[in-house]
Amino acid sequence: MQNVPASSAQHRPVSIGLVGRGLVGSKVLEILQERQTSIGELRVFATPRSVGQIIEWQDHRVSIEDAATADYSGLDLVINTADGNFARDHADRIAGQGPVFIDSSFYWRQDTTVPLLIPTINPQILPAKGKVSGKIAKSNCTTTIGAIALNPLHNAAGLKSLTVSTYQSTSGQGNPGTQEHLAQTKAMISRVDELIHGQQKPYPEFTIFPAGTAFNAAPLAGTMPADDHTTEERKYINETRRIFDLPKLPIDVTCVRVGVFNCHCLSILAEFEQLLPVEKAHEILEGASGIVLHRDDDVPQPIFVAGTDQVHIGRVRQSNHLGEHGLNLWVVGDNLRPGAATNLVDTVELLIKQELI
Binding site for ligand NAP (CB under 6 A): 19-25, 46-47, 49-50, 67-68, 81-83, 86, 104-105, 141, 171-172, 174-176, 335-336, 339-340
Strands (E) in the chain, as ranges, are 14-19, 39-46, 54-57, 60-63, 65-66, 77-80, 100-103, 116-117, 135-138, 159-168, 217-218, 251-258, 264-272, 291-293, 311-319, 323-333
User: How far apart, in whole angstroms, are the C-alpha atoms of residue 187 and residue 226?
Assistant: 33
User: In this complex, which beta carbon is closest to ligand NAP, that of residue 25 or of residue 302?
Assistant: 25
Q: Decide: 35 and 27 in contact? Cβ < 8 Å.
A: no
Q: What is the largest CA-CA distance in the chain?
A: 64
Tell me, yes or no, if 141 is annotated catalytic.
yes
User: In this complex, which beta carbon is closest to ligand NAP, that of residue 140 or of residue 319?
Assistant: 140
The SS3 assignment for 174 reads helix
State in angstroms the smallest separation of the CB of 126 from ligand NAP.
Answer: 20
User: In this complex, which beta carbon is closest to ligand NAP, that of residue 116 or of residue 322?
Assistant: 116
State in angstroms the smallest separation of the CB of 186 from ligand NAP.
Answer: 20
The catalytic residue among 141, 255, 263, 265 is: 141
Number of alpha carbons in the 13 Å side-chain half-sphere of residue 24: 30
State in angstroms the smallest separation of the CB of 138 from ligand NAP.
Answer: 7
CA proximity to 144, closest of 26, 272, 24, 264? 264
The catalytic residue among 90, 154, 181, 264 is: 264
State in angstroms the smallest separation of the CB of 145 from ligand NAP.
Answer: 10
User: In this complex, which beta carbon is closest to ligand NAP, that of residue 195 or of residue 208?
Assistant: 208
User: How far apart, in whole angstroms, are the C-alpha atoms of residue 322 and residue 186?
Assistant: 44
Burial class (CB in 10 A: 0-12, 13-18, 19+), 90: buried
The SS3 assignment for 55 reads strand
What is the number of the residue whose Cβ is closest to ligand NAP? Answer: 22
- Decide the pairing of beta strands 323-333 and 264-272: antiparallel
Tell me, yes or no, if 263 is annotated catalytic.
no
State in angstroms the smallest separation of the CB of 237 from ligand NAP.
Answer: 17
User: In this complex, which beta carbon is closest to ligand NAP, that of residue 26 or of residue 185?
Assistant: 26
- Decide the pairing of beta strands 60-63 and 54-57: antiparallel
The SS3 assignment for 145 reads helix
CA proximity to 166, closest of 267, 300, 301? 267
State in angstroms the smallest separation of the CB of 337 from ligand NAP.
Answer: 9
Count the neighbouring beta carbons within 10 Å of the beta carbon of residue 216.
Answer: 18
User: In this complex, which beta carbon is closest to ligand NAP, that of residue 67 or of residue 221?
Assistant: 67
Radius of gyration (C-alpha) of the chain in whole angstroms = 21
Catalytic annotation, residues: 141, 264
